[in-house]
Amino acid sequence: MKTLEKIFESFFDLADGKVAFYLKDGTYYEGQVSERSSDSFNFLTGGPLLPREPVNIKFDSVDLKRLSFFDNAEKNWKDARWEPDTDKWEITNVSDVETKSIEENNPEPASIETDIKPKGIGIIKLTRRLIVLVCIIILAPLAVESIPEGKYYNGQMEDLVKNGNAQVIEAGKKVKIDNDTLNIQKVIKSGSDIYVRYSLSEEIGWPFPWSCIKLNDNIGHKIPWEGNESSGKIWGEEALVEYGPIDSDCQELTFTLDLYDRKMEVKVPLAKEGNK
């Protein structure tokens, strides 16, 4: 029989992206695993604002019959249930389970011959118009949500730039992460603090863990992540991430990402030429 460490090691081999699970006390989590140890793992929950610190989850607190993960290859969610008798995971498509449940609870009705009279045509037209109206009501917020945030993400940052209290470096660096595209748009320096304006064009739409992008200067210092604001869009996600403090002699920033098997390294010079 496998130990809990081996059981979760085999689960993480299956789940290379977004995961969801229940604890034994009924608490639900959805997001991404950041680090693992022999008896627990750190977890970054989803949402427009990621926590400053990940949540530590003990292996023995997780309900092994109620885990799920998003399969990036098949582009769908799968349920994972640990079977102690076979000592392995039983994997099922979430959509298959839902379809089976619907079919069991809603058997196909018997065929009924209906003589549609002329007045029924008016009812059909009215129903179609109501469906169109409902679709407009539903899609209108999504259209608003797809509008990009401001040039500097929010009004407070824009005021800092306009008042001359912040220096803007137009980075314009785009990096492919699987089928997604990360755009490092701007680096904004205000005093010893650094703000980075990002956007991410996503194929799947899972909340990106912005704290996983590390920042180093050319002197050899690590610049700590302080927090971020982000907003989901139909096409992906936008964010303003704060780092700091930064050394006054820093001339270049190096952005690195090491998340599972995704790696990235991008250098952005802080030279005054071309800055606004």
Reported as a single tens digit per residue, the pLDDT across 2-13 is 899 999 999 988
CA 127 to chain centroid:
37
Q: Which CATH superfamily is domain 155-269 in?
A: Conserved domain protein. (2.60.40.1640)
Reported as a single tens digit per residue, the pLDDT across 36-86 is 899 998 888 754 444 456 889 999 999 999 999 988 888 888 999 999 999
Q: Is the pLDDT of residue 90 over 60?
A: yes
Reported as a single tens digit per residue, the pLDDT across 116-135 is 444 455 677 677 778 887 87
Q: Where are the domains of the chain?
A: 4-105, 155-269
Reported as a single tens digit per residue, the pLDDT across 203-216 is 655 677 888 899 99
Nearest alpha-carbon partner for 37 in 12, 19, 16: 12
Q: The pTM is what?
A: 0.45
Q: Is the pLDDT of residue 256 over 50?
A: yes
pLDDT at position 205 is 58
% of the chain at pLDDT higher than 90? 25
Confidence of residue 139 (pLDDT cuts 50, 70, 90): low
Reported as a single tens digit per residue, the pLDDT across 216-228 is 999 889 999 888 8
Residue 23 near residue 63, CB atoms below 8 Å: yes
The CA distance from 171 to 152, in Å, is 13
**Token output for 68:** 């799920």
- CATH 2.30.30 for domain 4-105, yes or no, is yes
Q: Up-side HSE of residue 92: CA atoms within 13 Å toward CB? A: 14
pLDDT at position 5 is 92
Confidence of residue 235 (pLDDT cuts 50, 70, 90): low
**Token output for 142:** 């999504």
Dihedral angle, C-alpha 198, 204, 205, 209, nearest 10 °: -60
